Structure 1
Amino acid sequence: MSEGVSQPDRPVERDGEGRDLFSKFDDLIAMREGLLSTGQEDPFNLVMEKVLSPTRAICNGRDTILLGTYNYMGMTFDDDVIAAGKQALDDYGSGTTGSRVLNGTYSGHKAVEEALKEFYAMDHAMVFSTGYQANLGIISTIADKGDYIVLDIDSHASIWDGCKLGDAEVVPFKHNDIEAMDKRLGRIPEGAGKLVILEGVYSMLGDIAPLKEMVAVAKKHGAMVLVDEAHSMGFIGEHGRGVCEAAGVIDDCDFIIGTFSKSVGTVGGFCVSNHPKFEIMRLVCRPYVFTASLPPSVVATAATSIRKLMHGSNKRAHLWENSKRLHQGLTALGFELGTKEPQSAIVAVIMPDLERGAAMWEALLKEGLYVNLARPPATPANMTLLRCSLCAEHSAEEVETILGMFERAGKAVGII
């Protein structure tokens, strides 16, 4: 592997005894214990006692606005989606107890793949049990020994893990740097297989990739292109197909990866493609072959949700208004944000350090607002972030309420 993929230290033998295999986590354990020793609530173990709607839940006995769930299009409580899941439970039971290549393909699995093909206007669709598995499976299967993967240094953990599982040489480049990507591709030996991996929306800062320019560079070098649209599907683009659609390059992308756990509102992952040989992936992709398929109720809810998202233009427009208003309001209050302009449904608020970030997270929770606390090493440039994920079901009034909560909490903690 090239730089950018960290490898854990090997256990060191001491006086005939192996090192404690948990010792590599000592710094993280100390950090967590330090936070909790002050009476701080655990920001990574919040329990939602009851979920009331796509935008509200009971947390610690308090009615709380949800601003950290990735439920971008608010489909989790859609009447048609829930009805489809209940009907599938009645008709097919709770699970398949088998792999897709054995007894794990029901009519619902084919139906959700048909819905995906229609949604993206592509020839092939393959559904995985999670979005993580989709990246793990597709990347590790198509890029093998002697091939090269060129990817953005800020790529999601599932992308890096897909690279680790395969045998290809991994070549990272600086985030969203078109020139750096071009140079990396130019150094790859003639005749080698090349795969460029990009994301439409990067989940930490909510920024988008310059896909039009990047896909053009990839094709100039004869590389195949895989784009992860997990955080843009359903919302960005005229038909909700993601940044690829908005940038006008969807037909030049060889593989589009996505997830059901965000805009679709359930769980699962997928890959769509127009490659004529794509169907062989069902027999050679180990994370697809050697895992149980999604329960019938899950694929029924996913298929119903995807078909409704095809007609979600009004929801998309309202979500954009929410994103613009929250970004504008937080900027006016004096918070530092991850992007200068709203680029997606993610608005990242940069904190001075982890301690004050955790304090701000807790202050917001006491106000009745849940956001994500994101910390290194998951974040770029060792930043601590409060990551806000807007929903199409947030009302304009709720967004104004959220801004008031940020103002009060920010002043109480000393952030603004």
Structure 2
Amino acid sequence: MCKDSISNGTFRSIHKSIRSDGVNLQKACAVFLSLSRHRFQHYSLEQSLDEPLSCRRERLCIESLVCIIRKYHVLARHRDGGAAATIGLSDVDASKARTLRRQARTGSTFIGELFNQNPNVFYLFEPLRVVPDMVKMDAIPETYSGDMSAELLNSFYHCDFLTYYVYHIPRWYLAVCESNAMQKICKRYKRCTNVSISDLKEECLKYEVMVIKSIRVEDLNYLMPMLQHECFDFKVVLLARDPRAVASSRKYFKFRNRTNKTLNELGIAKPLNDTTTRLHPENVHDYCKWLGRNLAVLRNAPSRARRRIVVLRYDHVVANVTQKALELYKIFGSRVTENVLKWIADNTHSEEHVERGSMATKRNSTSTALAWRSDLSMDDVKLVQSACNDVMQTLGYKLIKRESELINTSASLLNPLPLK
């Protein structure tokens, strides 16, 4: 038996009421919620695959009704000039949900700014940073980190914020200083510590789009329930960067006083048959495994999920930032604002390099993308290519065989992206 069952007759009557007359929406919602309040309190996108067939049918029925209620509630709200009553479900438009996934030193802060500079975007900078904190405090075991990250993303996109996350915001300065939306909210309430959970939800619901930048979802499989869910037009940008550029960036960021050392000596890369070199935690081998693993998930994903994942090469973006920004916004069903275009003009042709810890965005984008070709030796390049050969070919990065190819920066190392 399934708990809190709703008969087909009840479903049909509610569905008919909604379809026939939008005025009956509030009544239909009230009836539905009173019948299944307990189910909503425990509703999860992830359900057991071995549940009885009758339960799966009922769950699909309920999910469909949730979609109907949300859509009609939005229509009624617009028709009545915002007079529709709240029905206990989030009013956030799930078609505006976007996540930017990447790893360290891959250019995501730069890409994130293309959205952060848009006043219509609610941009969150690394909100999943709270998950490692939970592990450290023994609130959750480390093996649950992926599930917790997915659960938090789901709640964020409904403008529901975990108590600890709201507490965390003023205590990690990047959460505020890297998000224009959070800066405005903290300013509106005089200081970040004055912003309550309900305040943050109220402010979040005012925005057209939400974008989250995160390095803390290791596996796209954790996001599959959201990517496949009928109610969500949830999209993920999987940001990739040439592994040779990633290795160079990590070398010059992590080892500023040891840049004369090779990638092997620093543990950023090593020969495949080397069992003696100790790898640095941000080694390029792990980065390429991460990319390869998630590209495999993408290839094997159901069609709906596959359509919602965008593979973006940072190296391709910086070659023509404005054009790629326009394409990204088109994919996401939104529009580029003058603020974004001005930021691009101000921050992609500058010879000045402004350091903000690890987040430097003011630069000549093309020269930055090519800097690794003068910073790395041919031996270092070969090490990275050996470690990342498969994923580089999958992403259309040309391999370098001779030093003359390395120093010839006029020759592009980008092939068309093979992935479709």
Normalised to the residue count of structure 1, the TM-score between the two structures is: 0.24
Give 1 or 2 for the bigger CA radius of gyration.
2
Normalised to the residue count of structure 2, the TM-score between the two structures is: 0.24
Q: Which has the higher contact order (CA 8 A, sep 6+)?
A: 1
Instruction: Return the structure number with greater strand share.
Output: 1
